[in-house]
Structures are given as C-alpha cells and as structure tokens.
Amino acid sequence: EVQLLESGGGLVQPGGSLRLSCAASGLTFSSHAMTWVRQAPGKGLEWVSGISGSGDITYYADSVKGRFTISRDNSKNTQYLQMNSLRVEDTALYYCAKGLRLGFDPWGQGTLVTVSS
C-alpha cells in the first residue's frame, strides 16, 4: 500500500520561508511523478507544483512560480517544497500526491501552513 506523509507545516510571517517534506513508502518512488496540491481553509483544491520521477523536470502554477521550488531525493523516497516569500494567501493545507498527468492517487493527509503576522 502506498503511503504519503507530509511534514514541515507551521506558522510563518509574511515574507518568510518554510520547507515541506513528503515521505513516501510502498512504491518505487523514482518511477513516479509527484505533485503538491493545496486547499485554503473552506476553499477548493489548487494544484501547486509537480516534478518528474527523475527530478529533472519541474512544473509550477503561476501563483507560486518564482517563489516555490519543488525537489526530490529518490534515495530517501522524499519530495520537498521550498516556499519562499510567503504571502497571507498561501495559507492552506498542503497535500502531497503521487502522479501528475493521469491523476493524483493516493494523497497524504496534508500539512497546514499558516502565513500571518
């Protein structure tokens, strides 16, 4: 069974930085593209970023381009999301998920990022 476990969320001031991690188990990690999706409180889902299995190709939503960086360490079965220049509107539950083009399955339980002064 594939399991994804996010960590690294927390409270940060506007303009600050945070790094999220997603540890994966139960799969050949390097064979799969991975994705970050976020959900602001009481709002819908928003795709944030994706990365190829090898890690050499990355993709970003316009809303985070230039501020967020996705990466992965296939030796540790872990992907990351480095978030810089955080804004109040980045406040959300951040989900890690397996896949990209063909759909996201499964999803982790999410890690909460709160940007507030």
Q: How far is the CB of 107 from other proteins (least distance, A)?
A: 4
**Of the two residues 7 and 16, which places its CB atom closer to other proteins in the complex?**
7
Q: 30 φ, ψ to 5°?
A: -70, -10
Rounded to the nearest whole angstrom, what is the least distance from the CB of residue 86 to other proteins in the complex? 20
Angstrom distance (rounded) from CA 2 to CA 61? 26
Q: How far is Cα 26 from Cα 14, in angstroms, rounded to an integer? A: 36
Which two tokens mark 80? 């990351």
The residue ranges that bind other proteins (CB under 8 A) are 35, 37, 44-47, 50, 57, 59-63, 95, 100-110
Task: In angstroms, give the least distance from the CB of 93 to other proteins.
Answer: 9
| Nearer to other proteins (CB atom), residue 1 or residue 75 | 1
Tokens of 23: 């540890």
